[in-house]
Amino acid sequence: MPGDILDNQGRGEASWQWPSIHPEGRKFGAIAGVVALIGWIIFGPWVGWPLAVLTLCVLAFFRDPLRVTPQNDRAIVAPADGLITLIGKVPPPRELTMDDGTGLVPMSSEPVTRISIFMSVFDVHINRTPIAGTVKRVIYIPGKFVNADLDKASEENERQHVLIERGDGLRVCFTQIAGLVARRIVPFVKPGDIIASGQRIGLIRFGSRVDVYLPAGTEPKVLMGQKTIAGETVLAELGAASVIEGVAQ
């Protein structure tokens, strides 16, 4: 159940269950179901069955499984399910290094480590916050729809920056990026909202990418090619600067 404490000391009960369908996707599932029914009635099962399978695929895309988020103030958790395709030091998004009109510059322009998570159409597309805190900025930027797996997608594609600030002043930014198939970024939060680590903050329809910008002095605890689980996989620990290696096998 949501809110249960599940840990390595045996507290709580865990069992497999069918994931729920997020309300954002129910309307699409209903439309696909109606089309499948009409196709079946008019053209018969040869058309009806493929459309019924398509309906199940639409519902599966919007699945919203429960996640168990580590309750660790040092942990930065993955905001998305997917494959880590890029890790490197880059300047933060320029939209977050400019004065917002209040005299405050949210982020320094000095390069920081960016982790890019590519979501295929088969991944869960509900995005979650990497840390707990207050939503300071949500900045939507129209753009192109090139392959989200490319590095240039961070600056050219349609995207949305979300900046989270903890009570101690620590800030973490992540960016939702639309891709070739994804054409809609749907936010669940707005500036001023107080959110918990791993809380749902939005989704991107039909495949895309999420970039996470780590605080200075923090190195990844994940590797290129690794799969992540939103709200569960620990991308990094604050203040930890050790470099890890892995073997593909």
Angle of helix 23-43 relative to helix 45-61, nearest 10 degrees?
180
Cα–chain center distance at 120: 12
pLDDT at 109: 82
Question: Distance between CA atoms of 173 and 136, rounded to whole angstroms?
Answer: 10
pTM: 0.84
125-139 burial, b for 16+ CB within 10 Å, e for fewer? bbbbbbbbbebbbbb
Contact 170, 100 (CB under 8 A): no
Domain residue spans in the chain?
20-64, 75-237
DSSP assignment letter at 151:
T
Question: Distance between CA atoms of 185 and 140, rounded to whole angstroms?
Answer: 9
Contact 86, 114 (CB under 8 A): yes
Q: Tally DSSP H helices, then E strands, for the chain.
A: 3, 15
The topology (CATH level 3) of 75-237 is: Glucose Permease (Domain IIA) (2.70.70)
Catalytic positions? 208
Taking only the tens of pLDDT, the chain with its 249 residues reads: 456 777 777 777 777 777 888 888 888 889 999 999 999 999 888 988 999 999 998 888 888 998 889 888 899 999 999 999 999 999 888 888 887 676 667 778 889 999 999 988 889 889 999 999 999 988 888 866 555 555 555 666 788 999 999 989 889 999 998 866 555 788 899 999 999 999 999 988 766 889 999 998 888 999 999 999 999 999 999 876 676 777 777
